[in-house]
Structure 1
Amino acid sequence: MSKAVSSPEPEPALPPAAAAEWLLPFLDFLAKERRYSAYTVRNYRQAVEDFAAWLKQSGRAPDAFAMLGARDVRDFVIEAQRRFGRRTLHNHVSGLRTFYRYWMREGRLKKNPFTGVPLPKLEKPLPKFLTESQMLKLLAGPDTLRAQEQIGEFTALRDRLVLEVIYGGGLRVSEAVGLNYGAVDFGTGSARVLGKGRKERICPLGDTAMALIRKFRDTHARRPGPTDPVLVSERHGRMSPVEVQKLVKKYLALADLPMDITPHKLRHSYATHLLNAGADLRSVQELLGHASLTTTQIYTHTSVARLKEIHAKAHPRA
């Protein structure tokens, strides 16, 4: 029987020497100085490697970063539109712009050809969220399963705590699972949260979430020390984002709610409910930890859409 011949491994877009010279110092800068997440560093790496592959395919040296002008970059963007969606393309160009800025700062490059490059406009879909009544159904899930004796007291209380901390504080999943007891101020009912770019902010968690944190700490937490996690797994280790995602899916199914709702969309729900109740945009921006007010403004469209719906139903001239 003849032995199958394995296909040769594809050559990397950047040869090892070029990667060590251009790519690795940049990634090190992102991770250690800018403190970007591993996810962002990975995406920026992919952006540089894809650009290097395009340089190679177009007959240039894969590390010919210093020899490009605005026209070359426009050619790259036109070709990349055939392979990427608009948001992915924007993210790649953002990564490459940062790459060039870094090497300009280091004195190796003199210009950034990605500055001002025209890109296709991004579609701005409204964020998906749960209504207040839907949110109540979701939050009731752990108690429902406990009453049916499908889960124990620990799981019911822990699951309620997860949902209430994310919704009550508008936290990202990474912020929720990273929350330690030492960051919770039981006097003010708030928590110090480490957000994107390792920026710290104070988040009110709400009376319900705070009561659950106290109860869980006093009845089930094995190690409620300052550096111990608030949200723990069945084995009392720190919960992972994947565990939180699975938990949310379980209770969405139980409440017969849309299964495309993610933990991050509970944060969308939090922001939308605040604005619907009359909170001002600047306050919501601070609560969410958004660097730009523009990022927060997308929630106003959702609130306006709801107001128009109410107007259409209630006004005689609508």
Structure 2
Amino acid sequence: MLSGWERQQRSRLLADATIEPRVALLRRFTEFAGSFPWQWSAGDVEDFTLSLMSGAARLAPSTIRGYHLTLRMFCDYLLDGRYGWVSECEQRFGVIPSQVCHDFNTVAHLNDYEGRPGRRPFTYDELQHLFDFLDTRVERVQRSGRKGAWAALRDAQMVKTCYAYGLRRRELCLLDIADLRPNPHMRQWGTFGAVHVRYGKAVRGSTPRRRTVLTVPEFDWVVDGLRQWVEQARPLLRPDDRDALWLTERRQRVSVKSMDNRFAWLREQADLDADLTLHCLRHSYVTHLIEFGYPERFVTEQVGHSYASTTAIYTNVSNDFKTKTLKAALARVYDNTQEER
């Protein structure tokens, strides 16, 4: 049964990173229930859910909902007449499998965003503090005469690029030199007028989606940093025919896991909130573009969302922006009223 369901998912071109955790969960649930899939009951699901919600290692509602979805999909596979498991179980064991997940024993998806409340956009002060810390760290390491100035410059520029273009972690790490594109309307930016993302988030087994993220005037400071990295710092490593934009000291591409660990360390050294992750910079990018007055459709295209509603989830405008917007509305409404009088 597990092998057949695994083949079904691979036929949909789903990634191993999606399939393997699902199969592992089914094995875990089978061991918990102490029975085979054709013997599972709705009560087994409820007992399993209660076990996930108890103790210090209590799981988040979104994680439990994902477990329920996996169990539901597997049961749908078993009950599909095209695979013959119903008749096979009835013939061999005298019982047939059933759908053990239903609307009354599974977590409902009620909110668009189910992430941790602490995962929020950086404030302007936090961003300035982080960037100042990164720049100071490069200067401090360079003055000390120790190794690490080159890596510190790379880390600083990676973090700044992630924010300036609203990139996901994987999109950032998989950038190549060829992905830096010019903007014919801003020739002074050279080849840093846009970033071509070739490894955007795939959906349901599709190939990675592509998009071009334009450099916006409010973030034009990133151009000087990228130019310094590409033209001065990166060549010191003698990359030869390596195309990766971000390289390690061993001339290997910086991995997503490595970048996550580096950012966690930098965040701790900068004394920032532990809930702020590298992906929060993407939330900051969306929020700040909205505050700068860019149309919602433009922001949606920049970050590669399919729907504006997804972009809205990322948006968390500041109180200052709300106050300015309200003042503008008051002036527009009441000034017009006074003129009419």
8 Å Cα contact 2:181/2:195 also seen in 1: yes
CA distances 1:179-235 after superposition (whole Å, capped 9, x unpaired): 22233324541212312324323142634444433432322243375x621111122
Q: Secondary structure at the match of 1:156?
A: helix
Instruction: Give the count of matched residue pairs.
Output: 282
Within the candidate set 89, 94, 105, 2:69 is matched to: 94
Within the candidate set 194, 200, 216, 2:199 is matched to: 194
> Residue in 2 aligned with 1:303?
317
Distance 1:115 1:285 in 2: 35
Q: CA RMSD in A?
A: 3.6
Within the candidate set 84, 100, 103, 1:117 is matched to: 103
User: Structure 1 288/211 Cα, relative in aligned 2: closer, same or farther at 3 Å?
Assistant: same
Q: Secondary structure at the match of 2:293?
A: coil
8 Å Cα contact 1:47/1:93 also seen in 2: no
> Residue in 1 aligned with 2:155?
159
User: Structure 1 284/79 Cα, relative in aligned 2: closer, same or farther at 3 Å?
Assistant: farther
TM norm structure 2: 0.68
8 Å Cα contact 2:180/2:195 also seen in 1: yes
Distance 1:141 1:294 in 2: 34
Equivalent residues in 2 for 1:8-27, closer than 5 Å:
22-27=1-6
> Residue in 2 aligned with 1:215?
228
In our comparison, the structure showing a higher alpha carbon Rg is 2
8 Å Cα contact 1:275/1:281 also seen in 2: yes
* Residue 264 of structure 1: how far off its partner (Å): 1.6
Where structure 1 has 5 or more consecutive residues not aligned to the other structure, the ranges are 1-21, 314-318
1:107 and 2:83 matched: yes
Distance 1:265 1:105 in 2: 45
1:143 and 2:96 matched: no
Where structure 2 has 5 or more consecutive residues not aligned to the other structure, the ranges are 53-58, 87-96, 183-190, 328-341
Equivalent residues in 2 for 1:1-318, closer than 5 Å:
22-30=1-9, 33-36=12-15, 38=17, 40-56=18-34, 61-64=35-38, 72-73=41-42, 75-84=43-52, 85=59, 86-100=61-75, 104=80, 107-108=83-84, 113=99, 117-118=103-104, 119-121=106-108, 124=114, 125-126=116-117, 127-148=119-140, 149-150=143-144, 152-186=148-182, 187=191, 188-197=193-202, 198-204=207-213, 206=215, 207-219=220-232, 220-221=234-235, 222-223=238-239, 225=241, 228-300=243-315, 302-303=316-317
Q: Which amino acid aligns with 1:189?
A: A
* Residue 162 of structure 1: how far off its partner (Å): 0.9
* Residue 105 of structure 1: how far off its partner (Å): 8.7
Q: Secondary structure at the match of 1:233?
A: coil
Distance 1:234 1:102 in 2: 48
TM norm structure 1: 0.72
* Residue 83 of structure 1: how far off its partner (Å): 1.9
8 Å Cα contact 2:45/2:100 also seen in 1: no
